[in-house]
Amino acid sequence: MDALRAAAVCRAYGRRMVLDKFCLALAPGEFAALMGPSGSGKSTFLNVAAGLVRADSGKVEIGGEVITAMGDGAATKFRRRHIGVVFQAYNLLESSTVEENIVMPIRLDRAKIDRSRLALLIESLGLGGLENRHPAELSGGERQRVAIARALFAKPDVVLADEPTGNLDMKSAREICALMRSLNETERCAMLLVTHDPVVAASAETVHFLRDGRVAESFATHGDPAEVSQRYLDTYAAPPNAH
């Protein structure tokens, strides 16, 4: 069973078709990236897959469950339990501590907090000693680490990350990329991230290039940002009918 499967997903805004019969599959434990020009449908797909935006047609399955068929309330509960979401702007609660932010989805479900799981993630993400601090007391890189810990805490089927390094300096961005790659290996959680940065994309195993709401090309990165960058230039320099 795939961790994520999208079949013929369509989503339009007004007369503009942003996703046009979009198809993608992500195996359990796979780490993939979506790249493409602005408006190619990257973030829209992540929002559809997370149940934050409705598809006009088609379906997205997460762990075998069709999230696109769920109402808003059911999708919200399902997201807390099966999908980790990492936003560019962190989306942390400023009035809550690091620890409280990490366990928030579990508390909303009124489930028991696994303290050993919490300690493991705090150690893995280099957040030791910061448990009682608030987001305003953290650097951008530290905030994103908290957001990643929150996304992983419930052991989701898939983590969806939308430009997770977009607000970070180069050093912090590289650290986040290395952490996500390491966590993908240790947690064996499928990850799908959206990025414009070939260095970030190269941290994934596979990159999918989007054009006009569909996957135009997919390839293994081999961890090489230069290859990702060159393939990106080759793909988007060519006219659409060349692919």
Asked whether residue 63 carries a pLDDT value surpassing 90, the answer given is yes
Class of domain 30-54+71-242: alpha beta
Task: Give 9-35 pLDDT, tens digit per residue.
Answer: 999 999 999 999 999 999 999 999 999
Exposure string of 59-76, with b = 16+ CB inside 10 Å and e = fewer, is ebbbbeeebbebeeeebe
User: Once rounded to an integer, what is the mean pLDDT over residues 200-211?
Assistant: 95
User: Once rounded to an integer, what is the mean pLDDT over residues 37-63?
Assistant: 94
pLDDT category of residue 241 using cuts at 50, 70 and 90: low
Whole-angstrom distance, CA of residue 117 vs CA of residue 156: 13
Whole-angstrom distance, CA of residue 181 vs CA of residue 202: 10
Per-residue pLDDT, 120 = 93
Whole-angstrom distance, CA of residue 88 vs CA of residue 243: 31
Contacts of 185 (CB under 8 A, 6+ apart): none
Task: Give 150-194 pLDDT, tens digit per residue.
Answer: 999 999 999 999 999 988 988 898 899 899 999 999 999 999 999
Nearest to 220 by CA among 212, 236, 231, 233: 231
Q: Determine contact, residues 6/60, Cβ cutoff 8 Å.
A: yes
Q: What is the domain partition of the chain in residue ranges? A: 30-54+71-242
Whole-angstrom distance, CA of residue 223 vs CA of residue 200: 10
Q: Determine contact, residues 192/160, Cβ cutoff 8 Å.
A: yes
Characterize the bridge pairing of strands 206-211 and 31-35.
parallel
Asked whether residue 84 carries a pLDDT value surpassing 60, the answer given is yes
Element containing residue 23 per DSSP (H, E): strand 16-26
pLDDT category of residue 243 using cuts at 50, 70 and 90: very low
CB atoms within 10 A of CB 211: 18
Per-residue pLDDT, 38 = 85
Residue carrying structure tokens 């942390």: 92
Residue carrying structure tokens 């780490």: 31
Per-residue pLDDT, 62 = 97
Task: Give 112-144 pLDDT, tens digit per residue.
Answer: 999 999 999 999 999 999 999 999 999 999 999
Nearest to 192 by CA among 158, 243, 216, 233: 158
Characterize the bridge pairing of strands 190-194 and 83-86.
unpaired
- Write out the DSSP string of 134-171: -GGGS-HHHHHHHHHHHHHHT--SEEEEESTTTTS-HH
- Conformation bin of residue 72: beta by default, left when phi > 0, alpha when psi is -120 to 50: alpha
Element containing residue 43 per DSSP (H, E): helix 42-49
**Burial grade of 161 (CB within 10 A; 0-12, 13-18, 19 or more):** buried
